[in-house]
Chain A
């Protein structure tokens, strides 16, 4: 296997990857412990939007520091990439600003069953990505 190296992914490419995908992993802190949950999402205007039901995800992301990760893995070549968005997330069900209005119109389509009536927006403060490549 050829030797590997790490490259940063440019912010533009990170945004492109975020728009191209629809499933990522949300990291929240609940009771002093970090937790990770897969969620279906859309990325628009530097905001990660997802829908959830009352539970741990909502409690952890209602108004708090949150991280969101997507990645792609190539098992055969043993390469991969990941993009990480961090910022503060808020529930936007009752928000009256125009951005929230627009985000609630997005076609966010959760695979998991349930009403998923709570809309949560994670506004990106930082977006970074790295890729493992082979020569």
Chain B
């Protein structure tokens, strides 16, 4: 479970997001980005997903995503960007992914996945259900700069 975090120097204005907030943010978006290794290249593909029982579940067809995820470590990223304020957050999950056969897993979990089954926006026979099991989860948020001290609630008069 212990994953070495290779943090850069911590700087003002950049906040580490704690684990429970990371999970809350993860559940807030319709699209995330799934990364795996294909050949020597990292591959990043957007997917529709849901969060079920501390796993990230998405559906895919039988293409590169499915072939590659059995052989590599994977990551999953979601973010939200405010272009006006130039602020935002991102959450990165590192882990491994497995194809799920809904018949052979815990019935309660299968039920939860069926109920929340992500409906992909993309067409095609996306019959394979993939669950990413996290080893670690981390997030960072960019804050607005502190307002100037003249606005510290004292008023102007």
Cα distance A4–B36 in the bound complex, in angstroms: 26
Cα distance A80–B30 in the bound complex, in angstroms: 11
Q: What's the A-B contact tally at a CB cutoff of 8 Å?
A: 121
B122 to chain A, nearest CB (A): 5
Q: Which 10 A-B pairs have the closest CB atoms?
A: A55-B8, A36-B77, A113-B13, A34-B35, A27-B42, A33-B73, A27-B44, A34-B42, A111-B86, A78-B121
Q: Which chain A positions have C-beta within 8 A of B36? A: 34
Cα distance A27–B74 in the bound complex, in angstroms: 11
* A99 on interface, CB distance cutoff 8 Å: no
| Interface residues on chain B, number (Cβ under 8 Å) | 41
- Consensus secondary structure, chain B interface: strand
* A79 on interface, CB distance cutoff 8 Å: yes
CB distance A29 to B44 under 8 Å?
Answer: no
* B37 on interface, CB distance cutoff 8 Å: yes
Q: Which residue of A lies closest to B96 (CB)?
A: A33
Q: Which chain A positions have C-beta within 8 A of B76? A: 36
CB distance B123 to A6 under 8 Å?
Answer: yes
**Contact among B9, B94, B123 for A53, CB-based, below 8 A:** B9
Known: A80-B46, A111-B142, A113-B14. A35 touches B35 (CB 8 A): yes
CB distance A59 to B14 under 8 Å?
Answer: no
Q: Can you show 14 pairs from A to B with CB atoms below 8 A apart? A: A25-B33, A25-B44, A27-B43, A29-B40, A29-B42, A36-B33, A37-B92, A38-B88, A65-B42, A67-B42, A69-B33, A69-B44, A73-B46, A82-B46
* B99 on interface, CB distance cutoff 8 Å: no
Q: Which chain B positions have C-beta within 8 A of A27? A: 35, 42-44
CB distance B8 to A111 under 8 Å?
Answer: no
* B25 on interface, CB distance cutoff 8 Å: no
Known: A3-B123, A84-B44, A113-B142. A30 touches B6 (CB 8 A): yes
Given A54-B9, A67-B44, A80-B121, 13 more contacts at CB 8 Å?
A25-B33, A25-B77, A30-B6, A34-B43, A35-B42, A36-B44, A36-B77, A54-B8, A65-B41, A71-B31, A73-B30, A113-B13, A114-B14
